[in-house]
Structure 1
Amino acid sequence: MKSFKIKEDAKYRVLITRPVTVEAGQLLPRDQHKMMGSVLAGIVETYGWEAIHEADPLG
């Protein structure tokens, strides 16, 4: 996915390209995930933008 500026206080609907670990849980690519921008930023920092298939702001 092409990178963009993540708003850490916004909510996003995210599809990922591979399993990623967030805190004590694992997110799987078969599911749509809703998360705060701060969590999305952490995933990008750890796994890179290639782990994100799609991320759309909610609301």
Structure 2
Amino acid sequence: MATAQQLEQPTTDLYERDFLAWTENQAEALRTRQVGAIDWVNLLEEEVCNMPDKPLPPIN
């Protein structure tokens, strides 16, 4: 779980300095619905870069 200090740090800077702390920070922000604390640019970059090569099954 991210510490209060990690939640206060600029997320882009944290992404570049400490990836593990950044992931914990983003997970905490998502869990607690702190939309303003989410680093959307890097979060989406990670999601797009880590998508599987095969298509996902359709959602029913």
- Using the size of structure 2 for normalisation, the TM-score is 0.34
Higher strand share goes to which structure?
1
Q: TM-score, normalised by structure 1?
A: 0.34
Structure of larger gyration radius = 2
Higher helix fraction: Structure 1 or Structure 2? 2
